[in-house]
């Protein structure tokens, strides 16, 4: 597996989980770009979704991870950036198939909806799973066409 560059961001609700994930990523030799927040002080998830998504879209990093209370807000916000395929995953199965079939480039997590230990498993699977291509490529091309028409 190549040394992936990962941008990571969270709001206040995801800050503690973000710290755990950064430690995990460093321990597993990933290059990490922390896009904030840097405290549990209330802030807006949209600001951090934007920072990470733009880095991913510009290919400054290979993938991104975003964390808020549920992962929903981060998923909605980051998917507004052209070229982003953000997936909110609450199980290892979802993480695996978001990569295999959808080639997701941002993983969204909920710190308040999934236990830390399970989130770590989700991240591991997501990072280690490659896109299988093939029959999924025409579907992803249709998604890109939607972006061209509407974003």
Residues with a known catalytic role: 68, 101
Answer for the pair 74, 108: CB distance below 8 angstroms, yes or no.
yes
**CA-based diameter of the chain, in Å?**
45
Answer for the pair 73, 117: CB distance below 8 angstroms, yes or no.
no
> In the chain, where does DSSP find H-type helix?
15-27, 45-57, 72-78, 92-100, 116-128, 137-150
């Amino acid at each position: 597996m190549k040394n992936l560059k990962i941008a990571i961001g969270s709001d206040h609700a995801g800050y503690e989980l973000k710290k755990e994930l950064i430690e995990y990523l460093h321990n597993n030799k990933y290059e990490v770009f922390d896009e904030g927040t840097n405290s549990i002080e209330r802030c807006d998830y949209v600001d951090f979704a934007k920072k990470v998504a733009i880095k991913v879209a510009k290919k400054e990093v290979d993938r991104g991870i975003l964390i808020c209370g549920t992962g929903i807000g981060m998923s909605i916000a980051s998917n507004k950036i052209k070229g982003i395929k953000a997936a909110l995953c609450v199980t290892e199965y979802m993480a695996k198939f978001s990569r295999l079939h959808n080639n997701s480039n941002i993983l969204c997590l909920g710190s308040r909806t999934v236990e830390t230990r399970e989130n770590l498993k989700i991240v591991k699977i997501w990072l280690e799973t490659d896109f299988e291509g093939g029959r999924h490529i025409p579907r992803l091309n249709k998604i890109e066409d939607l972006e061209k028409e509407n974003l």
